[in-house]
Amino acid sequence: MNESGEAEGTEEISDRSRRRWGVLAQRDFRLLWIGETVSGLGNSMTSVALPLITVVALDAGATAVGLVAAAVWLPWLVVGLPVGAWVDGMRKRSVMIVCDLVAGAALVSIPVAAWLDALTLTQLIVVALICGTTGVYFKTAYHTYVKTVLHGRDLMEGNAKLHGSEAATRAAGPGAMGVLAQLVGTVAGLVVDAVTFLVSAVCLTRIEVVEPAKAPTAERVPLRRQIAVGLRFVARDRYLRPMVIWGATVNMALMGYQAVQVVFLVRTVGLSPAMVGLVLASGSVGGIVGALLATRISRLVGSARGLLVFQAVTAPFALLMPLTTPGPGVWLFVTGALAVGIGVAVANIVVGSFRQSYCPPQLLGRVVATAMVINHSTIPLGSLLGGVLGDVVGYRSAVWIMTAIVASCWLILAASPMRSERDLPDTEAPVEQPAAG
């Protein structure tokens, strides 16, 4: 006991709290986690609410629904790279707060317009574009801001908790929106959706950690050169390059079989719509399980070795999905989707934590944006490819082709330098300095 008779007891309680709650015992991270979780729930609800409103409130067809859905993803391809450069020169927390407020206000405009009998498809598309654009800014800033709140080994645990809550909100969001739509109506449910972004903004405003000052020369460098530095950094780095190639390839393959999995399960396997929903939830459950395992695996066998081994073990389970048959054979799809979900979650956490500790802070936003733009660019390609294959060669054959790609994607990582290392490096890589010219 010290002279005051109290500090030592407080320290013991603090240590006990850390052992029990991990990084959630840290106030700033807890606020970030709550804000991101609530915001993620809002995003998940929005992804269901906008198509529902398009169909229910406007009585529009499939093309209109596709336009609204595409509007959410389009900003990644249009402004993803510039946003990475812009965010590098901004206060990350301020960016996230503004994004929450703008997204919430945009969503509120829909029920207001509906109550005034002035809602149109154009407004829905504009709101989807706004939410998609704020999502680009928010995600880029959030992935770089984590490093401000957490340091060292805490990064992996923090990312695991953030990814776990993200997987949980992806699973819970559609159901929550469905309940709201049933209770208060689809349009009115968006008000609750908007409130989630307000809660996120409030949590972020209460974080006390001070961000490091931005680089003084960032504003004098032309935007195209800032973007080029980020692209070259990823393209030339022996670790980041294969990670991005793996991410883009596996996203294409995942979206390829997901584009036909519903019609495959309904028309080929013969499942009811309710059963399809339960079966597809296994992928989200896998994401939660992977988040719980990622930190332990990395500490037990090493981040590089754990990433490779886990991908080699889980990815081939994807080949169980095209073997699905009626009755007990449905468990083949559940097992395959669960294993793939676990593997992808572990990889996302390890890769994300590696980027945060390895990349120079002044370049992290551009590296994150570059990776996300490349990874997201293959999503529509995979969806289109899966749909075309389903019509040309049949649904089961299309699932076979796409899951075969998923099962072999880990070889991209195995061909990288990490195959001979226990842990990924955690020191910053050298960065090329762009000329101001």
Q: Which domains does the chain have, with CATH numbers?
A: 13-210 (1.20.1250.20), 224-423 (1.20.1250.20)
**Quick one: pLDDT at residue 3?**
43
Instruction: Say which residue the tokens 């629904």 belong to.
Output: 65
The Cα-based distances of 181 to 50, 133, 192, 281 in angstroms read 12, 25, 11, 20
Alpha-carbon 112 to chain mean position: 30
Residue of 270, 289, 292 whose CA lies nearest to 281? 289
**Quick one: pLDDT at residue 2?**
46
**Quick one: pLDDT at residue 11?**
44
Distance of alpha carbon 350 from alpha carbon 247, whole angstroms: 13
Distance of alpha carbon 53 from alpha carbon 185, whole angstroms: 10
Query: What counts of helices (H) and strands (E) characterise the chain?
Result: 15, 0
| Type and span of the H or E element at 96 | helix 92-115
Look up the pTM and report it: 0.71
**Quick one: pLDDT at residue 248?**
92
Distance of alpha carbon 234 from alpha carbon 368, whole angstroms: 10
Alpha-carbon 107 to chain mean position: 21
Note the pLDDT tens digit of each residue in 78-104.
888 888 888 888 888 899 999 999 999
**Quick one: pLDDT at residue 101?**
94
Q: Which segments of the chain have a pLDDT < 70?
A: 1-21, 48, 61-63, 65-66, 152, 173-179, 181-182, 213-221, 273-274, 277, 427-437
**Quick one: pLDDT at residue 10?**
40
Q: Residues near 300 by Cβ (< 8 Å), separated by ≥ 6?
A: 306
DSSP 270: -
**Quick one: pLDDT at residue 268?**
87
Q: What residue type is assigned to position 32 of the chain? A: L
Distance of alpha carbon 197 from alpha carbon 17, whole angstroms: 29
Tell me the residue ranges of DSSP E strands in 270-402. none
**Quick one: pLDDT at residue 21?**
62
Residue of 407, 398, 408, 291 whose CA lies nearest to 353? 291
**Quick one: pLDDT at residue 6?**
41
Residue of 135, 171, 95, 157 whose CA lies nearest to 292? 157
Give me 437's structure tokens. Answer: 């010219």
Distance of alpha carbon 240 from alpha carbon 375, whole angstroms: 13
